[in-house]
Amino acid sequence: MIEFIDINKIFKNNIVLHDINLKIEDNSITVFVGPSGCGKTTTLKMINRLIKPTSGKILINGEDISQQNLIKLRRGIGYVIQQTGLFPHMTIRENIELVAKLQKMSHTERDLRVKELLEMVGLDYDTYANRYPKQLSGGQQQRVGIARAFMINPDIILMDEPFSALDPITRSQLQDELINIQTQTNKTIIFVSHDMDEAIKIADKICIMEKGKIVQYDDPETILKNPINDFVSNFVGTNRIWSSPEYIKVQDIMETDPITCFPEISLFKCIRKMKHERVDSLLVVDKKNKFQGVIKIKNIQKEPDHYKQVKDIMYVPEYTTSPEKSILDVLKEVNNHNISTLPVIDQDGILQGIITKSSLVTTLSQQFDFSIDDE
């Protein structure tokens, strides 16, 4: 764990960072994001002591980094910057293995490690190892920069806007690559970005900063749904949640007061309730609101004896959903199986709400360019 405790930074009478208290969990991607000059890069550079705080301390695994050997500290932290920092007179292999060579790693070990890392970032060893940086595209150079940061297998990787100068397609590819690499290696990655879309895509936690202060620190879903103040709301964008539909859950859009009935009531009373509520179906629950099934008017119309109870002709639907399920999965399910009513059931079988094709599903399908077929 990386912990910032009462960190302040004053430079030429300007408060650059003010009262930073933060805990960064291991094996995660944490993204610092905010407008230019908010202090995000300064915060990042304090982790490897490129910048020293005016007051406060930073702990890594409980140990104050100001008391550690500086060279040892930096060699244990990978660092990737926007300009890649590759040495133009060195081959790709030489650039990647440089720190390991300084640490006296054997030639055989270095060569095996370079092969592994180039494969990890999607570059063929035989094709690229002996090329020079100028012979690579910007995206390829950034892949090399990432490989170099992983060379000595550090637990922590710092990344300072590494993809900001790349074209959108290459940038998206490298974002995907970074997520895959972190999943495979379980490194702790601290990433600085000015792009909220990038932060939402790659982060486990997002730290939004303004004027040297932390404004909100939380997972992307919480920040999208519950921005802490107007600054966060404006920075995130009021409609950004729609561009990240994977964070929209059934519970966010379901109707929470579906029309229900008990299984013991008569079909006659059931018809009266449907007419009164102007619906063509009811969800059947017991007295503890545990979901039992569905009854539709078309099923009642086929039954001549209206004094029968609902439980006699109700049916248990093939498809239900849960409050935590992604709305994208639900939309696909509704479309693929031509479902008009989808009860929302929690893990204890309790009815929580309903999704209907005619209302919210149709609205959402327009947001995501889904095609909803009529029954």
DSSP string, 167-183: -HHHHHHHHHHHHHHHH
**179 plus 286 within the same structural domain:** no
- Only one residue has tokens 């309903």, namely 354
**35 plus 174 within the same structural domain:** yes
**161 plus 43 within the same structural domain:** yes
Q: What range does the domain containing 346 cover?
A: 251-367
- pLDDT at res. 361: 53
Averaged pLDDT for residues 183-206: 90
Averaged pLDDT for residues 188-199: 91
Of residues 31 and 74, which shows the higher confidence score?
31
Question: Helix H segments across the chain?
Answer: 40-47, 70-75, 92-102, 107-120, 125-128, 138-149, 168-185, 196-202, 220-225, 230-236, 250-253, 267-277, 297-301, 310-313, 327-337, 362-367
> Is residue 372 one of the residues assigned to a domain?
no
Question: Which of 52-61, 180-189, 366-375 ranks highest by mean pLDDT?
Answer: 52-61
362: number of Cβ within 10 Å: 13
**261 plus 239 within the same structural domain:** no
Averaged pLDDT for residues 70-90: 85
Is residue 154 over pLDDT 70? yes
Count how many domains the chain has: 2
Contact 84, 141 (CB under 8 A): yes
Is residue 226 over pLDDT 90? no
- pLDDT at res. 375: 44
- pLDDT at res. 367: 54
**229 plus 256 within the same structural domain:** no
> Is residue 374 one of the residues assigned to a domain?
no
**228 plus 286 within the same structural domain:** no
Burial-class residue 263 by CB neighbours within 10 Å (0-12, 13-18, 19+).
middle
**The token pair that represents 203 in the structure block:** 């982060």
Residue that is last in its domain, among 187, 221, 246: 246
**147 plus 277 within the same structural domain:** no
